Amino acid sequence: GENVEQHPSTLSVQEGDSAVIKCTYSDSASNYFPWYKQELGKGPQLIIDIRSNVGEKKDQRIAVTLNKTAKHFSLHITETQPEDSAVYFCAASTRGFNFGNEKLTFGTGTRLTIIP
């Protein structure tokens, strides 16, 4: 099955600096790569995603890049703010018998702390 590795497990950056979280996946058939943000006491929430036919996607201060050849993808947060402090999870979808994105395999999470 799919295996997703995520690094680093913790990350502290000064407010205003950029943060980068990296993930690798094992299944070359995976074609969907979302990122989730989990705030304290809440469930994970989708913040951005990318499909395998795209190399980069951007949404305001957040961007995701995908390298299919190397099987890795990254989350980039620019101009970090205190409200960016949270746990971030990457994930990859495995293609099932009907080729849908049936279930996600998650990375182990990165605790991001923004230092004021």
Partner 1 sequence: DADVTQTPRNRITKTGKRIMLECSQTKGHDRMYWYRQDPGLGLRLIYYSFDVKDINKGEISDGYSVSRQAQAKFSLSLESAIPNQTALYFCATSDPGQGHNYGYTFGSGTRLTVV
- Sign of torsion, CA 55 65 45 6? positive
Closest contact distance (angstroms) between CB of 59 and partner 1 is 13
Cβ closest to partner 1, residue 8 vs residue 16 = 8
User: Cβ of residue 21: shortest distance to partner 1, in angstroms?
Assistant: 13
Q: What is d(CA 63, CA 41) in angstroms, rounded to the nearest whole number?
A: 25
Residue with Cβ nearer partner 1 (34 or 77): 34
Q: Which is nearer to partner 1, 19 or 90 (CB)?
A: 90
Q: How far is the CB of 13 from partner 1 (least distance, A)?
A: 21
Distance of closest approach, residue 80 Cβ to partner 1, in angstroms = 22
* Residues binding partner 1 (CB under 8 A): 1, 6, 9, 32, 34, 36, 41-46, 49, 51, 89, 93, 100-109
Which CB, 19 or 104, lies closer to partner 1? 104
